Amino acid sequence: MLQLREASGPAAVIHRGDYTAPAYWIDTVDLSFDLDPAKTRVLNKMTLRRNPDVEAGPLRLDGEELNLARVLVNGQGTSFKMENNQLVLENLPEGHEPFALEIFTTCAPVKNTKLMGLYVSNESFFTQCEAEGFRRITYFLDRPDVMAMYTVTLRADKAKYPVLLSNGNLVEHGTLEDGRHFAKWVDPHKKPSYLFALVAGQLVAREQRITSRAGKEHLLQVYVRPGDLDKTEHAMNSLMASVAWDEARFGLPLDLERFMIVATSDFNMGAMENKGLNIFNTKYVLANQATATDVDYSNIESVVGHEYFHNWTGNRITCRDWFQLSLKEGLTVFRDQEFSQDLCAEPSARAVKRIEDVRVLRTAQFPEDAGPMAHPVRPDSYIEINNFYTVTIYEKGAEVVRMMQTLTSRVGFAKGMTLYFERFDGQAVTCDDFAQSIADANPDSALAKLLPQFKRWYSQAGTPRLAARGEYDAAAQTYTLHFTQSCAPTPGQVAKEPFVIPVSLGLVGATSHTDTQLFVMTEAAQSLTFNNVTEEPVPSILRGFSAPVVLDFDYTDAQLLTLLANDPDPFNRWEAGQRLALRSAINCIAAGAYSTGATPLNDAYIDAMRAVLRHPTLDAAFKELVLTLPSETYIAEQLDVVDPQRIHAVREAMRLQLATALQADWEWAFDAHQYNGAYEPDPVSSGRRALAGLALTFLNLAAVQSGDTVWPGKTLQRFKDAGNMTDRFNALAALVGSGHALAAQALARFHALFKDEALVLDKWFALQAGTSDRGGQVLPAVRQLMAHPDFNLRNPNRARSVIFSYCSANPGGFHRADAAGYVFWADRVMELDGINPQVAARLARALDRWKKLAEPYRSAAREALVRVAAKVDLSNDVREVVDRALA
């Protein structure tokens, strides 16, 4: 067997403009695996043909960390060479006839700590091929525009690996000599290599047979480890709801006889949409009321939906190249968000979901768009594609699709989807192809008229700012809104052209309000006049967050209080409360007046919050959102220079003020919303639990302040008695978050109760690493957690639960004046990079916004980045992130 040395050099930048079609097509792939953790043998028999549209050239197959044993062309040995991780074949048959290529390689799944390609987790085999993992299994044209028909034969020890799965249909299985067995799978659909999957191990399945609208029978399966079957009901329900929804809303049926989901506890991301064989992080499958919170239930519903919806948007029509990633991701996030909204019985619950989605966009994507990693929804270049599975591609991409729906109507957008599938089913296409389909199906729509300009959302990075000013003419009874738009430079893009911004808006008066209308902004400056306006109104702009922009409007406090009380649009009602809180925070931060006992919030705000909390008809879930202050990260984004300690102190002062000023109201809220009946994860009951949980948080904060022991005692009791994880964890978090002495025993008890539940232990770790810092205690605690016997750096979920919870989700604990947080960060990035570069690169992004930091943080952060960048053997993943940060 010959071992090939891998050439390495400076990482290449890949440009979108350099796309060329492949020189060869692969029509069929017949793979045989002899599965063995230390040495798995892979026989890959393909039929290929030259692409007649491309000038003849050598065949270059991608391969990584493979041992090559044999290459045969039409059954004969052939010459080949290795160049930059590619197997290059020059002496191939002339002409355009198909030829056979057979490649035999081995790989070592047990050594695969990157979790890309074929790897071992808990003694089972799993694969992850998106984006470029298939080349770690065999030599291939590992690019999404090469779509082939797959046949897969798996052979393994029967006792150790009783279940053998791959894409498509099981056509044959049986026993072999020496206690081995085999299974043969045929996928009836052609697919790109990134959708290939195999699973082998000791697994059990929950099964469900369903009949589609068209009368077809399907088998749905959720595979987990033997002890976890009692945690699969919700995932299965979510899958059935997904199948029904895609048929009902978009006319897209399940195109497979069998659809499988398999859960693994070692996974870099959330889940993967491999054709017919989705592989999931256990976090997004396993749930029962004792181990999972309401948030977990809702995430499972979204992720199961997301991966299922990819079956059409991603798998039936895929991406021509990885620059088009948002073609499938933005569209599929949009679809999963719509799915979750459509499952809400009440309109108010839809609004709650929308607010939650916007909160993610604004706290994660807006900073990305303003930082060193900013990139367009369709990027122009990358070094490591794994770095571009971003909130911009996913969440901003979803907003771009939502704006298309806004500009064509719900019915019009569905027509556009139908046209998209008529045109491109079975193909690998571009974002342009998608946008053109939606526009062509709606020729009279604003989208069709503005398409070239609309597509700037794909090509220009950065978050646009929409500034508005109102002008009331009492004599003429007119109200005019003057709008301007702008967008700051981003790396590589200095000047920006105006965007198409759909602005949903209305006017709110003391006693009446107008209907919502849509104003489509296209110029740098534009005005809109309303007639017959008899009193000066308050404009409610960007209702439902109709475009992913920052809205600047110089509202008075009184105007915001009006919107908070009267806006018929729930999103803007919530937004008014956030603006008021943000203003108080920023004023207090600017004044430097944040010493202990500071009261940043004014009485009007407190009274308004009391009115919302006590409101007779508003939903508990909505109240919880309104009464939650903007996060430290969101506050930081509004400032030019960021002192994370000051932000933390001010926000903590605000929380304490809300806790004490509304103490009686929180007591009422807790008593009125706690509920000990049967557990249901629906929006109404989970909203109640969320509000009761927030009340407990505030009651414990107030108690620690006043020395009262009643509420901490009650909270501990609630923690012990809780009938579900949501209530139990909220009680625990309230004790830990307040810094009360009872927290220690609750934490110990929680660990003892759940020591065998990995996902619950993740929560236990994350809570401690993410807790509010009081005098620098969090970093030493984090170091201790890393020394805990249950800690394991190789398991991404566990690494995230401690290290990311501290570095990325705990600004008050992480940004220390003594730089120890950054030293810790740099050490972990380098340590993780040797194990799993994808996870390391995500952690590397915790310092993206270092240039905004005040001293001494800024210099210390830079020093930490420089130290990482100086490491010679960094992965491309981490190198790209730190180089961009330092540029």
Which residues of the chain form contacts with Zn ion (CB under 5 A)? 329, 332
Q: Do 509 and 535 meet the contact criterion of CB atoms below 8 Å apart?
A: yes
The neighbour count for residue 270, using CB atoms within 10 Å, is 15
Residues 572, 680, 689, 613: is their CA dihedral positive or negative? Answer: positive
**CB-nearest residue to ligand 0A1:** 269
* Of the candidate residues 31, 61, 235, 269, the single one contacting ligand 0A1 (CB under 6 A): 269
Select 112 or 540, whichever has its Cβ closest to ligand 0A1. Answer: 112
The interface partner of residue 269, options being Zn ion, ligand 0A1, none and the CB cut-off 5 to 8 Å by kind, is ligand 0A1
Select 819 or 840, whichever has its Cβ closest to ligand 0A1. Answer: 840
The stretch near ligand 0A1 (CB under 6 A) out of 209-217, 264-272, 376-384, 409-417 is 264-272
Between CA 384 and CA 877 the distance in angstroms is 6
The interface partner of residue 387, options being ligand 0A1, Zn ion, none and the CB cut-off 5 to 8 Å by kind, is none
The neighbour count for residue 101, using CB atoms within 10 Å, is 21
* Of the candidate residues 156, 195, 271, 576, the single one contacting ligand 0A1 (CB under 6 A): 271
For the bound state, the minimum distance from the C-beta of residue 396 to ligand 0A1, rounded and expressed in Å, comes to 14
SS3 assignment for 623-676: HHHHCCCCCHHHHHHCCCCECHHHHHHHHHHHHHHHHHHCHHHHHHHHHHHCCC
Residues 708, 709, 712, 717: is their CA dihedral positive or negative? Answer: negative
Facing residues of 503 across strands?
Answer: 519
Select 132 or 643, whichever has its Cβ closest to ligand 0A1. Answer: 132
The interface partner of residue 166, options being Zn ion, ligand 0A1, none and the CB cut-off 5 to 8 Å by kind, is none
CB under 8 Å to 827, separation ≥6 — which residues?
none
Q: For 379, what's the count of Cα atoms within 13 Å in the CB-facing half-sphere?
A: 26
The stretch near ligand 0A1 (CB under 6 A) out of 119-127, 185-193, 266-274, 627-635 is 266-274
* Of the candidate residues 124, 268, 726, 730, the single one contacting ligand 0A1 (CB under 6 A): 268
Between CA 23 and CA 14 the distance in angstroms is 18
For the bound state, the minimum distance from the C-beta of residue 430 to Zn ion, rounded and expressed in Å, comes to 17
Select 329 or 773, whichever has its Cβ closest to Zn ion. Answer: 329
Facing residues of 264 across strands?
Answer: 281
For the bound state, the minimum distance from the C-beta of residue 611 to ligand 0A1, rounded and expressed in Å, comes to 41
The neighbour count for residue 174, using CB atoms within 10 Å, is 8
Select 73 or 385, whichever has its Cβ closest to ligand 0A1. Answer: 385
* Of the candidate residues 62, 64, 273, 757, the single one contacting ligand 0A1 (CB under 6 A): 273
The interface partner of residue 126, options being Zn ion, ligand 0A1, none and the CB cut-off 5 to 8 Å by kind, is none
The stretch near ligand 0A1 (CB under 6 A) out of 45-53, 270-278, 537-545, 634-642 is 270-278
Q: Do 390 and 372 meet the contact criterion of CB atoms below 8 Å apart?
A: no
One-letter identity of residue 877: D
Q: Does 197 bind ligand 0A1 (CB under 6 A)?
A: no
For the bound state, the minimum distance from the C-beta of residue 405 to Zn ion, rounded and expressed in Å, comes to 18
Q: Does 263 bind ligand 0A1 (CB under 6 A)?
A: no
The interface partner of residue 658, options being ligand 0A1, Zn ion, none and the CB cut-off 5 to 8 Å by kind, is none
* Of the candidate residues 30, 64, 65, 130, the single one contacting ligand 0A1 (CB under 6 A): 130
682-711: contacts with ligand 0A1 (CB under 6 A): none
H-helix segments, 441-556: 446-454, 456-459
Select 386 or 795, whichever has its Cβ closest to ligand 0A1. Answer: 386
For the bound state, the minimum distance from the C-beta of residue 815 to ligand 0A1, rounded and expressed in Å, comes to 29
Q: For 334, what's the count of Cα atoms within 13 Å in the CB-facing half-sphere?
A: 25
Cα 235 off chain centre by? 18
The stretch near ligand 0A1 (CB under 6 A) out of 265-273, 334-342, 789-797, 808-816 is 265-273
The interface partner of residue 231, options being ligand 0A1, Zn ion, none and the CB cut-off 5 to 8 Å by kind, is none
For the bound state, the minimum distance from the C-beta of residue 334 to Zn ion, rounded and expressed in Å, comes to 11
* Of the candidate residues 128, 166, 460, 686, the single one contacting ligand 0A1 (CB under 6 A): 128
For the bound state, the minimum distance from the C-beta of residue 313 to ligand 0A1, rounded and expressed in Å, comes to 11
One-letter identity of residue 507: L
The tokens for 446 are 């604003």
For the bound state, the minimum distance from the C-beta of residue 606 to ligand 0A1, rounded and expressed in Å, comes to 42
Active site residue 307: yes
For the window 296-315, what string marks contact with ligand 0A1 as x by the rule CB under 6 A?
Answer: ----------xx--------
Specify the 3-state DSSP secondary structure of 763.
helix
* DSSP letters spanning 672-693: HH---S----SHHHHHHHHHHH
- Helix (H) or strand (E) run with residue 255 in it: none
The interface partner of residue 270, options being Zn ion, ligand 0A1, none and the CB cut-off 5 to 8 Å by kind, is ligand 0A1
Residues 786, 787, 793, 796: is their CA dihedral positive or negative? Answer: negative
Catalytic residue among 132, 307, 338, 368: 307
* Of the candidate residues 80, 185, 322, 389, the single one contacting ligand 0A1 (CB under 6 A): 389
Cα 527 off chain centre by? 37
H-helix segments, 754-836: 758-769, 778-787, 796-799, 805-807, 811-814, 820-833
Q: Do 154 and 182 meet the contact criterion of CB atoms below 8 Å apart?
A: yes
Pairing status of strand 86-89 against strand 147-157: unpaired
Between CA 21 and CA 52 the distance in angstroms is 10
Between CA 881 and CA 874 the distance in angstroms is 11
Backbone angles phi and psi of 93, in degrees to 5: -55, 140
Count of residues of this chain found to bind ligand 0A1 when the rule CB under 6 A is applied: 14
Peptide bond into 856 cis (omega under 30): yes
For the bound state, the minimum distance from the C-beta of residue 191 to ligand 0A1, rounded and expressed in Å, comes to 13
The interface partner of residue 369, options being Zn ion, ligand 0A1, none and the CB cut-off 5 to 8 Å by kind, is none
Residue with tokens 């798998």: 315
Q: Does 329 bind ligand 0A1 (CB under 6 A)?
A: yes
For the bound state, the minimum distance from the C-beta of residue 287 to ligand 0A1, rounded and expressed in Å, comes to 18
810-869: contacts with ligand 0A1 (CB under 6 A): 838
Active site (catalytic) residues: 307
Name the residues that contact ligand 0A1, by CB under 6 A.
128, 130, 268-273, 306-307, 329, 386, 389, 838
